[in-house]
């Protein structure tokens, strides 16, 4: 039986392993990476961000280049700048509007 281990955490990403990692596995240099290990590291807290759920900041603000990847809970618009990443940008901006912060 093949286990197709995640190259980072070594848990099985094989179909039928029962841990749900097969569905969101991605190819990496030497095998497979699970979605829990293959995302970015949060630039605020340093913990791993689940694949494709980061808030990304990229751009210029008052002549200063801003770049970073953050958990939604770690993202602070005032501190980090405007979010610039896909659907999550819309969600964050919507949440901030609801809170009266935008």
Q: How large is the C-alpha radius of gyration of the chain?
A: 17
Q: Which residues contact 91 (CB under 8 A, 6 or more apart)?
A: 72
Give the bridge partners for 68, in sequence order.
57
Task: Please report whether residue 49 resides in a domain.
Answer: no
Task: Please report whether residue 44 resides in a domain.
Answer: no
Q: Among 1-5, 17-21, 58-62, 88-92, whose mean pLDDT is lowest?
A: 88-92
More confident call, 23 vs 49: 49
Q: Could you tell me which of 86, 81, 87, 50 has the C-alpha nearest to residue 68? A: 81
Task: Please report whether residue 50 resides in a domain.
Answer: no
Rounded to an integer, what distance in angstroms lies between the CA atom of residue 43 and that of residue 53? 14
Token look-up 């609801």 returns 98
Q: Among 27-31, 73-77, 96-100, whose mean pLDDT is lowest?
A: 96-100
For 41-90, the pLDDT digits (tens) are: 999 999 999 888 888 888 777 777 888 999 988 988 888 877 776 555 66
Model confidence pTM above 0.85: no
Residue 30 sits in the same domain as residue 59: no
Task: Please report whether residue 46 resides in a domain.
Answer: no
Using DSSP's 3-state secondary structure scheme, residue 26 falls into strand
Q: Which domain holds residue 12?
A: 1-38
């Amino acid at each position: 039986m093949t286990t197709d281990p995640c190259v980072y955490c070594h848990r099985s990403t094989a179909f039928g392993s029962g841990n749900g990692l097969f569905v969101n596995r991605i190819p990496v240099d030497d095998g497979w990476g699970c979605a829990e290990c293959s995302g970015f590291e949060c630039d605020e807290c340093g913990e791993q961000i689940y694949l494709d759920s980061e808030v990304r900041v990229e751009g210029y603000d008052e002549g200063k280049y801003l770049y970073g990847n953050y958990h939604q809970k770690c993202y602070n618009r005032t501190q980090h700048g405007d979010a610039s990443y896909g659907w999550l940008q819309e969600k964050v901006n919507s949440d901030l509007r609801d809170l009266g912060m935008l």
